[in-house]
Structure 1
Amino acid sequence: MNIAYSYTVEPQPEGGYLVQFVDLEEAFTEGETLEQAAFLAAEVLTGVLALRLERGEDVPPPSPAEGRPVAVPDAPVQAALLVRFAQQGKPLSELARAMGTSWPAAQRLTRPGNPTLKQLERAAAALGKRLVLALE
């Protein structure tokens, strides 16, 4: 799964560009140039997703971009979302049991943090998945 959220960009009459995320109504920003708007979009996306994860709120999966620009959150937020999305509604206790770990340790994987590759590999295997890394 690719954790890339699409957004719209609207030029503003006074100059600059307004960015609004399609799937996250509270996630918006603006930049003076398209490049700055894209950079700030990734920053805002990371912050909004991290806050939702920390609060235990729902996070919608990204909609298809359909030609719109996309932003990607930072790696700790991506890792937490990948584990959360892969759970597919299963209880966290089931993940903890499958990993042979405690419930709090499994819960930490669904919150932004700095999991090790070994922890992510174990979580992926417990979820019937395979961890794949990529540089873009």
Structure 2
Amino acid sequence: MLAYPLDFEVHDDGIIATFPDIPGSLTDGDTHEEALSNAQDALVSILGEYMARRRDIPLPSAAAGRPVVMLPTRVGLKVALYRTMRAAGVTNTELGSRIGLDERQVRRMLDLRQRSLSPDAFDRAFEALGKVVSVDIQDAA
């Protein structure tokens, strides 16, 4: 899944955390731990805004020893579908037509805050885009 590196800046009134790969992104906390804890929700919100504005979502760079924020599996799958659709120039309506869903259902598949259709719908969507989903399980850090 996608893991975005995080940079911290210490200020008098707390810690500011930014994602160097996502321009304009930031969150904060009173401690490093709190800033890191807030970072996942901030990242999901920021990526959702990128998608709403139909902007390209940058891939994360190498962590190079920095802490990372992993996207939840459901969110990572939606971001991957969005990126794949953009790369292929496929609209929600066109994808829906290819997999037997209406545009509203495809929009819901891409909504980072919504529970989605079954994993089978994502398999069909990626297959319609000439892709397959591969799951990689790793030991927790």
TM-score bucket (shorter structure): 0.7 to 0.9
TM-score normalised by length of structure 1:
0.77
Paired residues, what number? 134
1:73-93 Cα deviation digits (max 9, x unpaired): 344432220112233611235
Taking the aligned partners of 1:75 and 1:66, their CA distance within structure 2 comes to 23
Instruction: Specify the code of the residue in structure 2 equivalent to 1:3.
Output: L
Q: Distance between the aligned counterparts of 1:63 and 1:78, measured in 2?
A: 16
Q: Which residue identity lines up with residue 49 of structure 2 in the other structure?
A: L
- Unmatched tracts of structure 2, length 5 or more: none
Classify 1:15/1:106 alpha carbon distance in 2 versus 1 (closer, same or farther; 3 Å).
Answer: closer
The partner residue of 2:42 within 38, 41, 44 is 44
| 1:68-126 residue CA offsets vs partner (Å, 9 max, x unmatched) | 21112344432220112233611235533442434443343333232221212222332
Give the aligned partner of residue 106 of structure 1.
Answer: 106
Counterparts of 1:109-124 in structure 2 under 5 Å?
Answer: 109-112=109-112, 113-115=114-116, 116-124=118-126
Which residue pairs with 2:52 in the alignment?
54
For residue 128 of structure 2, the aligned residue among 101, 126, 129 is 126
Equivalence for 1:6: 5
Which blocks of at least 5 consecutive residues in structure 1 are unaligned?
none
Q: Percent identity?
A: 25
TM-score (normalizing by structure 2): 0.75
Distance 2:67 2:105 in 1: 35
2:66 aligned partner, one-letter code: R
Root-mean-square deviation (CA, aligned residues, Å) is 2.6
Distance 1:117 1:133 in 2: 16
- Corresponding letter in the other structure for 1:114: R
